[in-house]
Homo-oligomer: A and B are copies of this chain.
Amino acid sequence: MKLINSFKTMIERLKEHKIKKRVAVVFGVDSHSEVAISKAIEDGFIDVIMVGPKDKVEHYAIFSKYPQSVQFIDVQDSDEAAKEAVKLIHENKADILMKGLINTDNLLRIVLNKEKGLLPKGKVLTHLSVSEIPNHHKLLFFLDSAVIPYPTLDQRGSMLSYMASACRSFGIKIPKIALIHFTEKVSAKFPHSLDYIQLIEEAQNGSYGSVVVDGPMDVYTACDKESADIKGIESPISGDADALIFPNIESGNVFYKTISLFAKAEMAGALMGTICPVVITSRSDSAMSKYNSIAMACLTSNRIN
């Protein structure tokens, strides 16, 4: 598989392979969702089932242009809409779940429901993002900015495993994954730095396939060769990380919002661990981020139609 090194290439790949997926949208009544969905329908890679208050969504201009690409399920309550959308996934009427104007916690509660939810027993739920940062030399994958507060060692293992697969689905053969900390030092004061040592050992023993894992290291060492050189750090990553795994939700979330607000990064994101991709961009994310997230979900969805 050829490397996907930009969001533009990702979209081209979808078109080239004529990929088209069915997206169940929960309460897609905000303007950013409208723009994102419209563009994805226009570009031909999704059909949608709009689960929400019909009177508020049916006005989307795109729907009159592509009536064959849209269905409505009229539900006035956002929690009920989420339950209905999850059911569509189980009934194989939709391939991807997308969050609109519903609180993330509420949606997650329904996604995580043991009987009717989307997370198979024993699987870890986490949120993966991909960012295209202006002037940076490659796409940057990272997690977790939204779901797991303080991962256990086992959860970190699952995160690492999802990360390696996500990178591979973009054609990165040997992903370089950096385990982030505020320094390069391992210390018992920071238990995640001890977890990192264990994960690196596991990676070296082949537990995560063809992959380079290193850390602890800071964002400079992971993403900037000059910084790593100045600090004299020898690492197989040394400024060229494909992916970052953050120690906790606060640092992952700060990274997400900082590159997006201050570095004008474009983002794509989805939940990992669920039986289908779940797009849960933040209400204040841009329309482009939501569009990219839909596209990424289409690329990584395994369901064949």
Interface positions of A (Cβ within 8 A of B): 30, 32, 105, 133, 136, 145-146, 149, 180-182, 185, 189-190, 218-220, 223-224, 226-228, 230-231, 246-255, 257-259, 261-263, 265, 282-284
**Contact in complex: A250, B253 (CB < 8 Å):** no
**Contact in complex: A262, B261 (CB < 8 Å):** no
Residue numbers in B under 8 Å from A231 (CB-CB): 283-284
Contact of A230 among B133, B189, B249, B284 (CB under 8 A): B284
Contact of A262 among B145, B189, B265, B284 (CB under 8 A): B265
Residue numbers in B under 8 Å from A220 (CB-CB): 257, 261, 282, 284
Task: Pull 20 A–B residue pairs with CB atoms less than 8 Å apart, ordered by A.
Answer: A136-B262, A145-B182, A181-B250, A182-B249, A182-B250, A182-B253, A218-B253, A219-B257, A219-B261, A220-B261, A220-B284, A227-B284, A228-B284, A230-B283, A246-B254, A248-B251, A250-B251, A251-B254, A254-B255, A262-B262
**Least Cβ–Cβ distance between A273 and chain B, in angstroms:** 19
**Contact in complex: A146, B182 (CB < 8 Å):** yes
Q: How far is the CA of A180 from the CA of B250 in the complex (A)?
A: 9
Contact of A189 among B149, B181, B251, B255 (CB under 8 A): B149
Q: How far is the CA of A220 from the CA of B247 in the complex (A)?
A: 21
